[in-house]
Structure 1
Amino acid sequence: MKKYIFVLTSFCLILCVNVFPQAPELKDDLFDGEALLMHVKNLSSDAFEGRRTGTKGAVKARKYIINAFCKLQVKPLRKSYEQSFMFIKNKKEYKGVNILGLIKGTYKPNKYIVVSAHYDHEGIKNGQIYNGADDNASGVCALFSFAEYFKVHPPKHSVILVAFDAEELGLRGSRHYVNNTVVPSKNILLNINMDMISRSGNKELFVVGVETHQHFKQLFSSKEFKTEDIKILVGHDGYDEKDNWTYSSDHANFYKKGIPFLYFGVEDHEDYHEPTDDFENIHPEFYCKAVKQIITVFKQIDLLSF
């Protein structure tokens, strides 16, 4: 196995402001915490009707995400940001749409890291809107923070920012994507997937895929990811007594294709897949710090000689 050298960089402390309860304002070189929280608040509002695949709410969500990508200078991977697909589930036909953005790499533009999150959720059930703030407006809006970071710090490898559709209906969007990658699948080095990253009473963010892909172990043993404010824990990967999350979200389809992955997420909470998964119930300070740590992980991976 190759020996990888990881160059660790320092980063500034997170400052707190009163715009949102317990919300940090990130005045460093990464991203704006206030903007991140505002995006989550917007995308998980009733206006998007729970973002269920094939609904008007999903259309609104797509427009919101594409508009944010445009403002952040994320180019479409193809001529259009949209990648449409059809599937049948329980004898019902659905039309899903993935959103694919591209940040061109400065050093290895023909090698790609896919950073992903699903934007769909449960929609409306029995007259109640399932807004899915943590699941998974939190992951989608983290894509915007990545894009904001890349405006100032272009990546060495090209980055495909993907908002997947139909995760809640059987990972259909990511399945379609890995079978229709647009770029050669052999040139995709890694998938970083984010699904539920905005709340944890124990301030714990789990990362799955480290044990499966041993060359990441050195990265997560570094002191940079061990802070008093948030714990990055390796687990839920089938090598401990916890639930195995290897196939729990969109990263599973990359794994099935032999593409390495790192999946970031929190453990289930009382509002998981409930109509109470609202913006008011996320943990703003934890969320901003979680996104910051995931971007920091990306920074180190981007330095690797794949």
Structure 2
Amino acid sequence: MTASSPGSADRWRVFRATGHAPAGPPVALPKPPPWRQFQGVVPDSEPDTWDSGAARRLGSNKSLAQLGEAEIDIVNAAILLRRPLLVTGPPGIGKSTLAYLIAREVGLGRVLQWNIVSRTTLRGGLYEYDALGRAQSVAQLAAPRRESAEKAPDPVEPAPLGDFVTLGPVGTALLPTRRPRVLLVDELDKSDIDLPNDLLHVMENGSYDIPELVRGNVAEATVRTDDPGGTTTVHQGRVECAEFPVVVITSNGEREFPAAFRRRCLPLEMQPPGPELLLAIVEGHLRHRPDGVEELVEEFALRLGSGGTHSVDQLLNAAQLITQQGFPKGRQGRALIETLLRDLSKAQ
């Protein structure tokens, strides 16, 4: 499958799966539907969200699209309608990479990644509150101070409540910004059974409260965000987005989601990449085409098509190894390649 080129038939698209960052200013996004408009107030200055880690995911600026025309249309519909994109398919075929591809091409900065496990809670995705640190801070103020009789103790101000709040990836994605952030919710099917419905309410409302700030009646609190070194100001303990984030939710199909959740998402099923795309991925990451890589790609494509569990990372590792000077070409080298390309669904 190949990415589409601009033309009159796809003028409505903001994403074409080219893998290229914008040469000039990022593409302007159309206004969201009236029912997906939110009231968050964008601050005068916004943090720099340039993502230095995207290159590790995408490699050099090559075409990495494995989406056909219909799939590209679904991605665009999700962006324009401000609806989450539910991406399914076998493990290791690039579902999470799609979020980075969208962020690069549309010019949306650093991807906020929320990795899901069975213990993950919605609150952890929204924010963390260091209750122990806060209690220790208050206890230190309440402890008697040893002062000389000649000098009265200096007044001590408690640490601001916001010092103990850190926004998670979901909470950061819902901050008011001029352009939407990209939020990757990775492997949601591994979550507790209630998490999809809990997440649904936040995705519908585009807002959330931080009860600790609300109860403390804090008019303004400076809190840390999920961006490295990032901070933001939260007013009255409430966060509401101005632009709903581009949400990419991945699933390996280990369980079904509730109908109410699926109704609010746009489904996209990704297929295993073919030899042409695999070769482009290898070239994009290694920045050249190693000798003998075509045979390696053909072999890996056959393994993908024969079932089991394989990841593109395995192919990249193998391709990197065969470029090393002096890498053994005989039985020893073959045994190592077999180990790298093994079926991951098997114990050994």
**How would you bin the TM-score normalised by the shorter chain?**
under 0.3
Whose Rg is larger?
A: 2
Q: TM-score, normalised by structure 1?
A: 0.22
Q: Which protein is richer in strand relative to its size? A: 1
Q: TM-score, normalised by structure 2?
A: 0.20
